[in-house]
Amino acid sequence: MKLGLLTSAGHLAAKKGLSSRVSGQTLESPPTRPFVEPLPIPPIKMPVPALLPAPQVVPAPGEARTQPHQVMALVPPRLLYEVHQREAFHSFHPDLPPNTIWGFDGVCPGPTYHARYGGPILVRSFNDLPQDHRGFGIPQVSTHLHNGHTPSESDGFPTDFYPSVIGGPERFYDHHYPNALAGFSQQPPGDLREALSTLFYHDHRVDFTAQNVYKGLAGFYLLFNEWDSGDETTGFRLPSGPFDVPMMFADKLFDSDGQLFFDLFGLDGLLGDKFTVNGKIQPFFQVHPRRYRFRWLNVGPSRFYRFFLTDLQNPDRAIPFTQISTDGNLLPRSVAVTDVIMAVAERTDVIVDFSQFAPGTSIYLENRLEQVDGRAGTGRFFAPGEGNLVLRFDVVLPPVRDDSLPPPYTFYQVPRPTPAELVKARVRTFLFDRISGQWAINGRFFDGETVRAAPIEESGEIWILENQPPRQPDARGWAHPIHIHLEEFQVLSRDGRPPPVVEQGRKDVVRLGVNSQVQVFLRFRDFLGRYPMHCHNILHEDHAMMLRWDVVPGPKRERPGAVIR
């Protein structure tokens, strides 16, 4: 406050002279050799036999939660987990010194949860981060299960953060995840066609989401069911087990000492010049000549990717692979592609068949989208082999049995809104804009106490998302990946036209391009309370491009214990 860095709304404001990048200098990371370390696979999180004190509907002693669990009595947890958010040393690359990171259980990425529909769980999250930390980030946390159909009190609302208390009473938060199909409280209960698969969790502390996630607080959460079963001999028979590989992409920037750098005042966004996959800079991954399922996640903070598979010995060859999902949902039908575009927080599951390559072949995962600042890509694409080589696949392991089915695949047919639902749906318009150097929605900055929309439980609505065009004719503008909590949506139109095939499933993040408009349809089911909508360029989110909306009780039903705050 003494430095004049806070706006009247309490958000950080730009101030020159405190960052090498905003003061006109150029920061480049120290050089690192590519493809010298193998791709690490995050460990699978294991449950614990009990928690003390035992979980309960109302907050337990020592718990930071202030609201009761809405449906814990209806769907009590079958498995219990305990996770600790800790500071630790991490090696991004052997050519760089160890870095101090924050990680769930002290690892980056955090451990991967394997959950199943019909198997509710409870995760007790402890904040063990140091109060006297150095560098960016703040040791106050609020964990969000991104894309989860989650009660408000367990969703990780940005102002539900709690501090670390070292040497004092433990501070923890019990997150109840029902792992139930949306609409499970209605009749008939839920629809398998809306089943989720690839989710992730991350810190969501207001004003500090970007810093805390950039420092390592993120991990995968995978959901399985009878069809997307995690067993390649059953259901859809997708590659499974060691051939089902989560990959988290995050670009990083390091200072001259090889330490992770974050520009506190880069309101447009932060771009790194080092590309990490599962916490390692440009790793390699040895594969068998068979099909693999890769779960790709862009954790940001600001970069858009356009990924291709590249053979440097024959760079002009278009290598096909199969896209099977968009965000957390499988597509109605798989799509044969040669590239995918990913904004921050988007997920894309793909099937790559390495039996098409000769033994000893190396194939590169290459980003060919040019981006020079945090606003958006330039519209220019690199030539094959001249982009960012992010990961190398080496087809060097021996042949093994492959029980998965080859593409194409047919999955769930999406339950479209009926004409009657669309006619009676309330329409709301949200304009994403830049005001006074910060990011706003409908001309206002985020305030966690102000309700900006109040949809009624069991209703459906159409939300129109608009990106304000640049005010200067020669300005390049910006793009925003917009994320809506609680419920997935269906894209009705993009700039007045039907959405492309890869947006015809269900999504929770939608790319809002420069001077663009997207219309989406949402249903509001099962839970009441507070949820946010925000830009997932998390620098934009932290600089106020977020709003609060509440699900309020409908006229037919008020469930006991459902509390709105």
Could you give the domains of the chain? 243-395 (2.60.40.420), 419-551 (2.60.40.420)
44 forms bridges with which residues in the sheet?
Answer: 112
Which of 449, 231, 240, 415 minimizes the C-alpha distance to 332?
Answer: 415
At 488-545, the pLDDT tens digits run 999 999 999 999 999 988 999 999 998 899 999 999 999 999 999 999 999 999 999 9
pLDDT higher for 6 or 202? Answer: 202
d(CA 318, CA 236) in angstroms, rounded, equals: 27
Encode pLDDT of 334-378 as tens digits: 999 999 999 999 999 999 999 999 999 999 999 999 999 888 888
Give Cβ neighbours of residue 159 (< 8 Å, ≥ 6 apart): 142, 206, 448
Q: pTM (2 decimals)? A: 0.93
How many other C-beta atoms can be found within 10 angstroms of the C-beta atom of residue 50? 8
H or E segment to which residue 423 belongs: helix 419-424
**Percent of the chain with pLDDT strictly greater than 70:** 92
Other beta carbons within 10 angstroms of residue 406's beta carbon come to 12
Q: Where are the beta strands (DSSP E) in 13-163?
A: 79-90, 99-104, 110-116, 121-127, 140-141, 143-146, 162-163
Each residue's pLDDT tens digit, 42-71: 999 999 999 999 999 999 988 999 999 999
pLDDT of residue 536: 97
Query: DSSP letter string over 362-381?
Result: EEEEEE-B---SSS---S-B
Confidence of residue 169 (pLDDT cuts 50, 70, 90): low
pLDDT score at 164:
82
pLDDT of residue 26: 65
Instruction: Answer left, alpha or beta for residue 216, where phi above 0 means left and psi between -120 and 50 means alpha.
Output: left
Per-residue pLDDT of 374-428, as tens digits, reads 888 888 999 999 999 999 999 999 999 999 999 999 999 988 999 999 999 999 9
For residue 212 the two structure tokens come to 């805390």
